[in-house]
Structure 1
Amino acid sequence: MQILILKLLLTPALTGMATWAGRKYGHSVTGLLIGLPLNAGPIALFLALEQGTAFASVSSKGILLGAVSLSMFSFVYSMLSKKFHWLFCVVAGWITYLSATFFLVQFDWSLLQTFLVTVASLGILLLIFPKFTEGHLAIVPPAWDIPLRIIMATLFIIALTYVSSELGPRLSGLLGTFPIFGTIFAVTTHYLYGADACIRLMRSVVISLFSFSVFFAVLAFSLQPLQIGYSFLLATACCISSQIIVLYIGRMLKKQEYLKSIRFPGT
């Protein structure tokens, strides 16, 4: 009963506070928050509390690999968004996500191999990601956005942790990245602002998965030797640090592209 109450309190609190902070303090804070595992993180915590640290450690490695499935959802949705209705894009994205998940569950790699495969997959997808028209569009989500995210995330976490013993740690982990937030983000942005804004948003999601991957790699490594609380604190610190590095590199690359685009007299 105590864990159920924690599920009903923690997930809405994390989701609501993170969304509010991102909207109140601007894009820099939003960029940091996107990389935080606001949905999969609580799943790993509840699995550790209910099933034990050994189960949660294997699940965390599965969630880490699940970042590949989530990035595939973002890629396919973006590819289709310029030509098709949002509903078709969602269905195609979910099919791709589930297909990738049940393909990846066949492999039992070490933690290092899983991390390298995940990072390499994210890098390849970014290289071939659909192009979009740059703009300065300020995306203002609808009023029902936060309540919908809170309800969907809470119901999903309760359902997945309830059936986790039947699914096993690896499949529970892989399904822990199911694109609850990604679908809501994609559909609302696609419907309200068009394909270019949607592609830009989905690309930022894929970029954020590098920090997401760091979080679950550290968590999978540290859950058993450390206490649960210390392990999550360490993983969160590494995630935030890596997200800052990713954002800094992104800004430097944009600055270099801008400087290259300037034509000085005599050049």
Structure 2
Amino acid sequence: MTLFYLKLLVTPLLMWAISLASRRWGGLLGGLLSGLPITSALVMTFLCLEQGSAFALGAVPGALGGLAAVQATYTFYLFATRKLGIAAAVSLAILFYGLAAYAFTHWGGLYLSIGVALLLIGVLIRASGREPRPDTLARPKHRYWEIPLRMVSATALLMLTTSLASWLGPATSGMLAPIPVIAWPLVVFAHVQGGRAGMAAMVRGNAIGAVGVIAFYLAMAALLERLGVALTISLAMGLAVALTLALASILRRFRAG
């Protein structure tokens, strides 16, 4: 019961904080924050506590397959919205995610998933860099129901994923762990409010953060059995944050030059 209330508390608070940061400092920072393995860390933590470390380790290959599918979905959405409206592109992107995630987790393999994810991260960073930059002086209108809706959707998906874990099994649970439950609503809302420039900045931030997500899962696989849940999660998150900040800094200098 304690874990149940913890899920209800932590997830919406994270979504609320990231949404406010995105409003205050722009889509790129919002993308970076939402691209970090926040939802993944929550899912993996609860899988460890509720299903055991062996179950969580079995979920890692599926999680990396799911991450590759996430990057494929962002790529699909970025290019599809050049021809399609937002509603149609979102519907097709959700369907595309399901197909890609199933393919990667059942037929891809660990190394293929990592390789495809890194390739698509490069494509997203390059393609989003060619989009117009957001107008920092423009202030998009924010509706009062946006952040509550994001908080509810993020919490509901986390509850569903962890509650059904024993029935879904480690592979499928892992596949669902990196679903961008925080990032995806941010991307769509940024597109609606800020146009392609706002959406591209959010996607770019998420792609940069995905490098940290890969590091997070690899650290989980290497350290969990030796160091335990709390220390492994802490070290894996620290590694993910460090890599994300370093890559963001390098790309910012490269883009400015």
TM-score bracket for the superposition, by shorter chain length: 0.7 to 0.9
| Counterpart residue identity of residue 34, structure 1 | S
1:164, 1:201 → 2: CA distance?
30
The residue aligned with 1:136 is 135
Radius of gyration: which is bigger?
1
Q: CA deviation at 1:27?
A: 7.2
SS in 2 for 1:133: coil
Q: 1:95 to 1:227 in 2, by over 3 A?
A: same
1:232, 1:103 → 2: CA distance?
28
The residue aligned with 1:250 is 251
Q: CA deviation at 1:133?
A: 2.0
2:65, 2:139 → 1: CA distance?
30
SS in 2 for 1:106: helix
Q: CA deviation at 1:5?
A: 1.3
- Please say if residues 68 and 122 of structure 1, whose CA atoms lie closer than 8 Å, have aligned partners that are also in contact: no
Q: CA deviation at 1:124?
A: 4.5
SS in 1 for 2:131: coil
2:174, 2:85 → 1: CA distance?
30
Which structure shows the bigger proportion of residues in helix conformation? 2
Q: CA deviation at 1:11?
A: 1.3
The residue aligned with 1:74 is 74
TM-score (structure 2 length as normaliser): 0.87
SS in 2 for 1:83: coil
The residue aligned with 1:222 is 223
The residue aligned with 1:12 is 12
| Counterpart residue identity of residue 210, structure 2 | L
The answer to whether structure 1 residue 123 and structure 2 residue 122 are counterparts is yes
SS in 1 for 2:101: helix
Q: 1:189 to 1:128 in 2, by over 3 A?
A: closer
The residue aligned with 1:262 is none
Q: CA deviation at 1:146?
A: 2.1
Q: CA deviation at 1:8?
A: 1.0
2:12, 2:183 → 1: CA distance?
17
The residue aligned with 1:259 is none
The answer to whether structure 1 residue 86 and structure 2 residue 118 are counterparts is no
How many pairs were matched up?
255
> RCO greater where, 1 or 2, for CA within 8 Å and sep 6 or more?
2
The residue aligned with 1:158 is 159
Q: 1:229 to 1:169 in 2, by over 3 A?
A: same
Residue identity over aligned pairs, in percent, reads 26
| Counterpart residue identity of residue 120, structure 1 | L
Query: After alignment, is 218-227 or 33-42 more displaced?
Result: 33-42
The residue aligned with 2:95 is 95
Q: 1:103 to 1:27 in 2, by over 3 A?
A: closer
The residue aligned with 1:182 is 183
1:32, 1:127 → 2: CA distance?
16
* 5+ residue gaps, structure 1: 257-267
2:78, 2:28 → 1: CA distance?
23
TM-score (structure 1 length as normaliser): 0.84
Q: 1:24 to 1:84 in 2, by over 3 A?
A: closer
2:124, 2:29 → 1: CA distance?
25
- Please say if residues 104 and 113 of structure 2, whose CA atoms lie closer than 8 Å, have aligned partners that are also in contact: no
Query: After alignment, is 21-30 or 99-108 more displaced?
Result: 21-30
* 5+ residue gaps, structure 2: none
| Counterpart residue identity of residue 186, structure 2 | F
1:182, 1:161 → 2: CA distance?
19
Q: 1:160 to 1:98 in 2, by over 3 A?
A: same
SS in 1 for 2:227: coil
The residue aligned with 2:55 is 55
Query: After alignment, is 27-36 or 203-212 more displaced?
Result: 27-36
